[in-house]
Structure 1
Amino acid sequence: PQMLDAMSDSTNSSTTANDLDLIYLKGIMESPLVWYTHTNESLKEPRLSPVRENNVELLQEILRDLDPFTHHSNTVAELTSILTQPHFQSLLETHDSVASQACDSPPPSPCDFVDHEPEGAQKHNLHPPPDAIRMVGIRKVAGEHLGVTFKVDGGELTIARILHGGMIDQQGLLHVGDIIKEVNGREVGQDPRVLQEELQAASGSVVLKILPSYHEAIPPRQVFFKCHYDYDPANDNLIPCKEAGLRFETGDILQIVNQDDVNWWQEWNGKGDGGSAGLIPSQMLEEKRKAFVKRDVELAPAGNLCTGVGGKKKKKMMYVTTKNAEFDRHEILLYEEVAKVPPFKRKTLILIGAQGVGRRRLKNKLLLRDPLLFGTTIPYTSRKPKKEDRESRMYAFTSRSKMETDIKNGRFLEHGEYDGNLYGIKIDSIHEVVEAGRICILDTNPQSLKVLRTSEFLPYVVFLQSPDFEVLKAMNHSAAEAGVVTKTLTDEELQRTCDESSKIQADYGHYFDLSIINDNLDETYRTVKAALETVSKNPQWVPVTWVF
């Protein structure tokens, strides 16, 4: 304060010092940080030193001096009684013991057991001192899973993970990294599976002797994933504990409560009361496994089992847009982060399917039955209009140069060239239908799903799956007789449709909201209408990118 007053006087009077420098210095001195530092230093307690280290001997001398007077004075007798109590004598013994050690620094805190060496420096395995050993008691019934797994680290059996919601997690007595020394007075070995089996078979009181890790646990971020493959822990040879694994199927919503382990995530199934989390493969682990397994559609026919046994060289190629479909085939999407949102109306309805499976017929049926609910785009073309085009309004006509410029600027969802003319669907035309209050129906190529499956278009994707070959053949024959189609497809063309349908499902199945075997057009129409009505009235799970 005195220094601040002096600087205030200096700034108010004429001085040779630079006024700006004085103002700057005054600002620093008035800073809350400076005041805090000054206050902290003034409040620091000076290091205390003992007055003497032999208080026990002093007490004995005092008692000897008081002994002649204890029978003549009640006050002396009461004082003698207090000084001879065990608690008081123990207090003096403890004081003398601490004073005689004259510690220069306080004993290390639990946080000092954590290695704080800089990144890149040689790390040392710092264990807590022997006096930090704790005894933890647990009561359980035989066969009850504790919700904990173990691993060998530095020659010691340590806790690898604690399953969310399990017995150990609820009690909070053990932590990841704790070293298990003994179980019920018996030393543990170095086999995690043996210890796991012993603990699961134990019943009644189980006493664990542990060395705490003192690692501060960070609360995990809970996320939801939609899974795009089937998993059964009973068939997994890599899982640390099959009993801790959780089974799921394609399309299930998984609540992930812990992703600390690079290979195994903890998933909360939410079924029943008092349940615990289970283990599922992480994205990284499952990607590694899937990378070594050929897709079913790429495997050789069953009658030619020896084909492809010999190794093939990797196909090295840079990404180019013309090969986009090739790269899509090798994309591995196992988990997709999703969020639950209130009901809302989808902006677009995307119909995906192989050529000849009936997408166009379903689209026309939806447009004719519900013209106020559904709409569609008018494709653009660079060809010159014909007389009949003026009345049908089947195309929007533009110049080739204008269309090429728009394609280059990314204003077309998809485009192609036929008979020397360009054709395509403009993105602006999709927005026009949506702004008119209708759901825009699009029957596009599956490659366009990467563009459409965003918050801009909010699509509902329906995959029209091809029926079996014989059913598809009968449907085509009936449609030709009824005049719905003008051409009866050959067996080769029908088989090509079935194969293409399987390939689309294998490559793009993770994008589909609904898959329908289109063997009855009326039934397919009712199913699509019911699905759209359901998502508009009930909460939905959508990609998290649509929300955040």
Structure 2
Amino acid sequence: VQEEASSLALDVSDSLQTSLITIFTLFPSQSLLCVHDAVAQRDFEPTLPPIPDDVLDDEEDSVKIVSLVKTKEPLGATIKRDESTGAIVVARIMKGGAADKSGLIHEGDELKEVNGVSLEHRKPKEILPLLVSLTSIQSHIKFKIIPALCAEEEPTDKEKLFVRALFDYDPSEDPTIPCKDAAVAFKRGDVLQIVSTEDDIWWQACLVEDSNSRAGLIPSQATRAVLLWFSSPISSLFPHLSSCFSTGLRRSFRLGRKTSWAKEAARFRRWSAGVHGSICPPTYIEVMRYHREPKDRHRLVVLVGPSGVGVNELKRRLLISDPDRYGVTVPYTTREKRRQESEGVDYHFVSVHMFEELILDHRFIEYGSHGGHYYGTSLDSVHRVMAEGKVCLLDVHPSKIKRVYTSEFKPYVVFVKTPCIEELRITRRRVKFVCDDEDANPVRIFSEEDFEDMIDMAESMETQYGHLFDRVVVNGDIATAFRALRADLERIYEAEVQWVPVDWTCSSPAKARRSCSHLAGWI
């Protein structure tokens, strides 16, 4: 028992007070506690400067002040000059950008001032450098805005729309883009989520694989098709018409007038359909997520390419690299079996009568006759390989892909493309290709004419059937092309979620047509 407990307690209390004062003096404890309180109250928004006192009372209903804290993220808006009033107005708001997240700036709003600097009599191209200079020395951007009369609310119940790009797009090489910094670059095969198609000329989209959710501008379907037509050889045959459309296109880009563009696009579609059909290649195809279940069969892999490009060699290397994963179909023929051949291994040997019955039953993907005998690839052969749990490798002419372009097979189509003719001369000059055994010259060396025919055929295939291709592999060096192809197929083989045309996952063709109606005009 301590006899001096009370006095000891006082001494301890004095010592603790001294220690605590020292701790609070040496460390920014008050700031730490303030941060703690802010986190506890989820008060994460920065403090904005107060509304200036120079806003007149009679402007309260027509003018608003919007102050946004400066970040590394772009503002996410484009501007244009109203041709009738000369005012600077907001042309579009990028979905997911800073302006969109704030909910305070809308399309059609008139910008009067930025950080106290008047925008009157200024051109749009002068405003971007002004914004850069002002925000470099201040921590926020303050806009004085006259709100648009009718600010439409964005619907919240829209179904998400995803498309796969069928071309490469680099905004830095596009002279027609309203704002290069607001655009999205993408490669052929990339999947884009379309978040707005309200503008007939420039859609808003974001890359699905990109963690950045901010949307940007991409060419609309009609815009891309018209631009491709302008660069096509046929446009030179109609210089007057091409000049009319290109003038209207430039005017629409400059003024952002939706009505004039819609009329010209409609005129172009009607003329295009009547004169040259599908001269404009497709640009986007609508896709949906496909979740592969463990019990589901693997997707059919279709390899296409011009004769001599190396499709058979790539298929052979894939089969050798992993025979437990990959399999090939056994063709049907009506010729007699040779001594070294085996039924069901080299060919399925059938009678002419049976072969013709299979033709009438539409059981062949493709077939033909050579040397007086029928040869063909049957759907039954594909089913046999897939039933073994293997990835079926099939090489056919692209015009025959439609026989297997269904939800049953879900084909992954790889186009094996030729390199430039200079590379063909280097890599193929001393290479021989084997023809059919019944040909008079079964082994032939590539000639210059063969190279030109190969390139012409590749260009023709890509133009007519490019919208069916999921992957393009340029076969210059066979080893490099094989490694790229195998890596891509392994990724598809192991992926649980894949992107397939929306038609394959719709419950009915009518539903598919309805969901794709806004894209079908140019596909």
Q: State the TM-score, normalized to the length of structure 2.
A: 0.62
Deviation at 1:447, TM superposition (A): 1.8
Q: Give the 3 Å change call, closer, same or farther, for CA 347–489 of structure 1 in structure 2.
A: same
- Give yes or no for contact 1:165–1:277 (8 Å, CA) kept in 2: yes
Task: Give 1:443 deviation, angstroms.
Answer: 1.6
- Aligned match of 1:424: 376
CA distance in structure 2 between the aligned counterparts of 1:317 and 1:543, rounded to whole angstroms = 29
Amino acid at match of 1:417: S
**Matched ranges for 1:422-461 at <5 A:** 422-461=374-413
Q: Does 2:208 match 1:258?
A: no
1:68-467 superposed matches below 5 A: 132-139=61-68, 145-151=74-80, 152=82, 155=85, 158-180=89-111, 184=116, 186=118, 188=120, 193=125, 202-203=134-135, 204-219=141-156, 221-269=159-207, 276-294=214-232, 330=279, 332-341=281-290, 346-367=298-319, 370-381=322-333, 383=334, 385=336, 388=339, 391-393=342-344, 394-398=346-350, 403-404=355-356, 406-408=358-360, 410-466=362-418
Could you tell me how far apart the structure 2 residues matched to 1:313 and 1:190 are? 35
Partner of 1:470: 425
Give the secondary-structure state (helix, strand or coil) at the position aligned to 1:136. strand
Amino acid at match of 1:517: N
What is the deviation of 1:285? 0.9
Task: Identify which of 536, 539, 543 aligns with 2:493.
Answer: 536
Tell me the secondary structure at the aligned position of residue 455 of structure 1. Answer: coil
The CA RMSD over aligned residues, in Å, is 4.4
1:326-377 deviations in Å (ceiling 9; x for gaps): 977x462222333455567633232222212333344345445654433333
3-state secondary structure, aligned to 2:142: strand
Task: Please identify, of 202-211 and 388-397, the stretch whose mean Cα deviation from structure 2 is larger.
Answer: 388-397
Question: Relative contact order (C-alpha < 8 Å, sep 6+): which is higher?
Answer: 2
SS for the counterpart of 2:408 is coil
Q: Which amino acid aligns with 2:394?
A: L
Deviation sequence 1:156-203 (CA, Å, 0-9, x none): 654332112222212111223445566659574596555666556544
Q: In 2, distance between residues paired with 1:422 and 1:317?
A: 40
Q: Structure 1 pair 475/411, CA: closer, same or farther in 2 (3 Å)? A: same
Of 278-287 and 397-406, more deviation after overlay is shown by 397-406
Quickly say closer, same or farther: Cα 1:370–1:171, change in 2 above 3 A.
closer
The separation in 1 between residues aligned to 2:210 and 2:366, in whole angstroms, is: 48
Structure 2: stretches of 5+ with no match in the other structure = 1-57, 136-140, 243-270, 436-440, 507-523
Q: CA deviation at 1:154?
A: 6.3
Match of 2:256 in 1: none
- Aligned match of 2:457 in 492, 500, 513? 500
| Aligned-residue offset at 1:493 | 5.1
Q: 1:133 to 1:153 in 2, by over 3 A?
A: farther
Contact conserved, 1:412 with 1:424, CA < 8 A, in 2? yes
Report the AA paired with residue 231 of structure 1. Answer: Y
Q: Distance in 1 between matches of 2:194 and 2:470?
A: 22
- Output the CA distance in 2 between the equivalents of 1:211 and 1:364: 64
Distance 2:416 2:132 in 1: 49
Is 1:346–1:439's contact at 8 Å kept on the other side of the alignment? yes
One-letter code aligned to 1:148: A
CA spacing shift, 1:215–1:534, aligned 2, 3 Å: closer
Distance 1:279 1:285 in 2: 12
**Residue 515 (structure 1) aligns with:** 473
Give the superposition deviation at 1:270. 7.8
Identity %: 29
TM-score (norm 1): 0.59
Cα contact 1:133–1:212 (8 A) shared by 2:
no
8 Å Cα contact 2:112/2:143 also seen in 1: no
Distance (whole Å) between structure 2 residues aligned to residue 313 and residue 167 of structure 1:
42
Show structure 1 runs of 5+ residues with no match: 1-128, 300-307, 320-325
The letter of the residue matching 2:414 is V
2: CA distance between counterparts of 1:357 and 1:526?
16
Larger Rg: 1
**Cα pair distance change 1:327/1:195, threshold 3 Å:** same
- Is this contact kept in 2: 1:338–1:544, CA < 8 A? yes
> 2:203 touches 2:220 (CA, 8 Å); kept in 1?
yes
Are the structure 2 counterparts of residues 317 and 278 from structure 1 closer, same or farther at C-alpha, using a change threshold of 3 Å? Answer: closer
For the Cα contact (< 8 Å) 1:357–1:464, is it kept in 2? Answer: yes
Asked if structure 2 preserves the Cα contact closer than 8 Å seen for 1:351 and 1:464, the reply is: yes
Shift of 1:286: 0.7
